[in-house]
Amino acid sequence: MTVDRPPNGKATDLHFRMFTSDFGRYTRISTIFPTSSMGSPSTVKAARSRKSSRRLGSVGGLLLLSLIVSACGEELPANSLAPASERARNIDNLFWLTVIIAAVIFVLVQGAIIYTAIKFRRKKGEPERPVKQIHGNTRLEIAWTVVPALILAGLAVPTVQTIFENAEEPVNAINVTVTGHQWWFEYDYTDLGVITANEMHIPTDRDIFLTLTADAGDVIHSFWVPRLSGKRDLVPGHTNTLTISADTPGLYLGQCAEFCGLSHANMRLRVYAHEPAEFDAWVESQLAPADVPSETADEADLRAEGWELFISKGCSACHAINGTEAEGGGLNPGPNLTHFAMRDTFAGSLYDNTTENLRAWLANPSELKAMEPDLNRGMPNLGLSDDEITALVAFLQGLE
């Protein structure tokens, strides 16, 4: 699967880049809409008209540029206009129906305006004519009230139909409870006994019935994988449902779609769709006992040292490793790490699961992802030494 990886730069770099690009945009906008002009009234007027035509040109150019740039992404793994499931297609069809109706109305209305402006314009030398006033024309006013109302009522039919169709509870589905946390997604395959984070694995051609929620004390998040279905909120203390599926194997990217604090933009998710046999193998691998060093392991074993640190440094208070003394949960639950080494990404699917990234993360998590550990939001800096980080990374990378 070749899909763009999330950026591996540090969060500070990211912010800096965001800041500089915003800055660049603002400076460009200020040259399009200058705030002051100088000169005599007549030169100002001439300059203004020159400027306004240049402004129009710039705005048009920017629009064209943004259109070209937005068309550039060759793979577009989160493009809702490239539906990869029945429900996503239902939404896509509804979208295009709306766009086509709107486009026809646009062409008709604009055409009428342009036609009228040309046909009835005052010719050279022609005297000014009084314009026929149509204010209070009951028939016209009824017409332009009733026609749009009918169009909207007509559109409501397929809209409601799609909503009901997509909300239909699937049969023979795989149940997954999705919990939104600040700032990552937790997946509990309630029938299969698998718990994982950020990266969801599903078989192709099978409905996945999601029960969506968030812990009390958390905030509202929203689960959205544009190519697989619509979006649905994860509300603390409530449950919503959403069905997703995928026609073909592949990686489908998603993103939290409800502003949820500091790292909302860093709350990403991935859905890996496999052939059914491959999915079964994945489930089996997830059900295997966690590979943690035994109590009798050699003291010089780096992994054993890492496992000891995992407990003594308090990692196990937030991160569960199934079947071990690491229980997880607590006030500030973190992702279940039972088979962490099998994941491609970590930290809200923001970073590739590499040694370099893991080291940087353990050294100072908040530097890679904006968090508020003091408020039980995200991972704290545990003040680990280089050697401790080496041991912990070795331990984590053994969790296959």
Sequence-ordered alpha helix ranges (H) in 229-288: 276-287
Angle between helices 86-119 and 138-167 (to 10 degrees): 160
Nearest approach, Cβ of 267 to ligand CUA (angstroms)?
A: 4
Residue 256 near ligand CUA by CB under 6 A = yes
**Chain position carrying tokens 């937005």:** 70
Q: Kind of pairing, strands 194-197 and 221-224?
A: unpaired
Q: With contacts defined by CB under 6 A, how many residues of the chain interact with ligand CUA?
A: 9
Nearest approach, Cβ of 263 to ligand CUA (angstroms)?
A: 8
Q: Which of 180, 203, 306, 333 binds ligand CUA (CB under 6 A)?
A: 180
Nearest approach, Cβ of 315 to ligand CUA (angstroms)?
A: 23
Residue 347 near ligand CUA by CB under 6 A = no
Decide whether 55 or 231 has the Cβ nearer to ligand CUA. Answer: 231
Q: Kind of pairing, strands 184-189 and 208-214?
A: unpaired
Taking CA atoms, 159 is separated from 83, 90, 232, 237, in Å, by 17, 10, 17, 29
Decide whether 34 or 237 has the Cβ nearer to ligand CUA. Answer: 237
Q: Classify each residue of 176-204 as buried b or exposed e, where b means 16 or more C-beta atoms within 10 Å of its C-beta.
A: bbbbbbbbbbbbbbeeeebbbbbbbbbbb
Decide whether 162 or 263 has the Cβ nearer to ligand CUA. Answer: 263
Q: Kind of pairing, strands 351-352 and 231-234?
A: unpaired
Decide whether 179 or 245 has the Cβ nearer to ligand CUA. Answer: 179
Select from 127-135, 251-259, 329-337, 388-396 the region that touches ligand CUA (CB under 6 A).
Answer: 251-259
Our measurement of the distance from residue 270's CA atom to the centroid of its chain's CA atoms, rounded to an integer in Å, reads 10
Residue 264 near ligand CUA by CB under 6 A = yes
Q: Which of 267, 273, 389, 399 binds ligand CUA (CB under 6 A)?
A: 267
Please work out, in degrees rounded to the nearest 5, the angle formed at the alpha carbon of residue 392 by the alpha carbons of 386 and 395.
145
Residue 212 near ligand CUA by CB under 6 A = no
The residues with which 270 forms a beta bridge, in sequence order, are 199, 253
Select from 30-38, 85-93, 252-260, 383-391 the region that touches ligand CUA (CB under 6 A).
Answer: 252-260
Distance CA 170, CA 208 (A): 8
Interaction residues for ligand CUA, span 181-200 (CB under 6 A) = 183
Amino acid of residue 180 = G
Select from 23-31, 59-67, 259-267, 311-319 the region that touches ligand CUA (CB under 6 A).
Answer: 259-267
Task: Kindly report the length of the chain.
Answer: 400
Q: Which of 210, 260, 326, 392 binds ligand CUA (CB under 6 A)?
A: 260
Site string for ligand CUA, 217-246 (x = CB under 6 A): ----x-------------------------
Nearest approach, Cβ of 348 to ligand CUA (angstroms)?
A: 9
Q: Which of 258, 338, 350, 377 binds ligand CUA (CB under 6 A)?
A: 258
Decide whether 185 or 282 has the Cβ nearer to ligand CUA. Answer: 185
Nearest approach, Cβ of 215 to ligand CUA (angstroms)?
A: 12
Q: Kind of pairing, strands 208-214 and 174-181?
A: parallel
Decide whether 226 or 306 has the Cβ nearer to ligand CUA. Answer: 226
Amino acid of residue 214 = A
Decide whether 19 or 259 has the Cβ nearer to ligand CUA. Answer: 259
Amino acid of residue 69 = V
Q: How many CB atoms lie within 10 A of CB 269?
A: 24
Our measurement of the distance from residue 182's CA atom to the centroid of its chain's CA atoms, rounded to an integer in Å, reads 14
Using CB under 6 A, list all residues that contact ligand CUA. 180, 183, 221, 256, 258-260, 264, 267
